[in-house]
Amino acid sequence: MGRCARLEISIITGLSGAGKSIAIKSLEDLGYFCVDNLPPSLLLKMVELCSQGDNKIDHLAAVIDVRGGEFFDDLNESLRELDRGQIPYRIIFMEADDDSLIRRFKETRRSHPMPSDGGISESIATERKVLRTLRGRADIVIDTSKSNVHELREQLMEQYRSEGATVPLEISIISFGYKYGIPLDADMVLDLRFLPNPFWVDSLRDRDGTDKEVKKYVLGSEECIEYLDRVESLMEFLKEKFIREGRRYMTVALGCTGGQHRSVAIAEELACRLSASDWWVKVRHRDAHRR
């Protein structure tokens, strides 16, 4: 177990209906490998698996709660084993007042995982007793009684950001030609047809925007550089706004007439700029191969 010491583990637990599913999705947005409703007896095995192979996982988040039934009793032993192996972990405990929990169960029409003849109120009371010791061990206790989905996400994000965690946003940049149609999956479409067109230069016509000379031609004007600066600034402005709304992916389509020269060159340059600013960037040239 000692070789797992670099693995950061967040265990999400707490009362049913208190927002554990929102919490796990928020950590997934932070780049955590997430497992919902993990049986406690499998926690140690999951830690081992995350630390093996070429695709080593550095951040693991798992929801462990009373849905595990009788297996939930194994959690304390699993935590003691982590302590013996000096494996760092944190426990995030989600809770809410009875009125809020009852209202949420009625709104979703879900049954409580701890059914009782006394109804939801008695089930909640029983669950509180079962989780009392675990709550006392929690590193973070979050009361969601007065929080909506967005406020809870932001609270969790801020907690982890304050500790140096970065919130990734993946941007997919697609170059395309207007003559072949606008990409249907684009969140934003930018028209580059105002830029000088290498198509009208005989020596550049049969090349595409990945060619060094074509790039030099397209990026050679002050107008183009100013445009790139403004687009980059816009992307940085939108980044936090998108993350706040729970979005992890953004698709930007850059178009010129045929999708061969200007859109390809600008897409490549914008990708380089955003990659240097800690974006996760993918580039696809949809129409560059067409002639």
Which tens digits make up the pLDDT trace of 225-256? 999 999 999 998 888 777 666 677 789 999 99
Q: Give phi and psi for 275, each to the nearest 5.
A: -60, -35
Rank 83-87, 127-131, 160-164, 178-182 by mean pLDDT and report only the highest.
178-182
Structure confidence by residue, pLDDT tens digits, 189-211: 999 999 999 999 999 999 999 99
Do 15 and 3 meet the contact criterion of CB atoms below 8 Å apart? no
Q: For the whole model, what pTM was predicted?
A: 0.62
**What domains are there in the chain, each with its CATH number?**
2-161 (3.40.50.300), 170-285 (no CATH)
pLDDT at 3: 47
Of 47, 51, 139, the closest CA to residue 90 belongs to: 139
For residues 207 and 214, is the Cβ–Cβ distance under 8 A?
Answer: yes
pLDDT of 161 strictly over 60: yes
Q: Are 143 and 96 in contact (CB under 8 A)?
A: yes
More confident residue, 36 or 115: 36
Confidence band, pLDDT 50/70/90 cuts, at residue 109? confident
User: What distance lies between CA 291 and its chain's CA centroid?
Assistant: 38
Residues 290, 275, 229: CA angle, nearest 5 degrees: 80
> Rounded to an integer, what distance in angstroms lies between the CA atom of residue 233 and that of residue 228?
8
CA–CA distance from 255 to each of 195, 268, 277 (Å)?
11, 13, 23
Does residue 72 carry a pLDDT above 80? no
The pLDDT of residue 265: 96
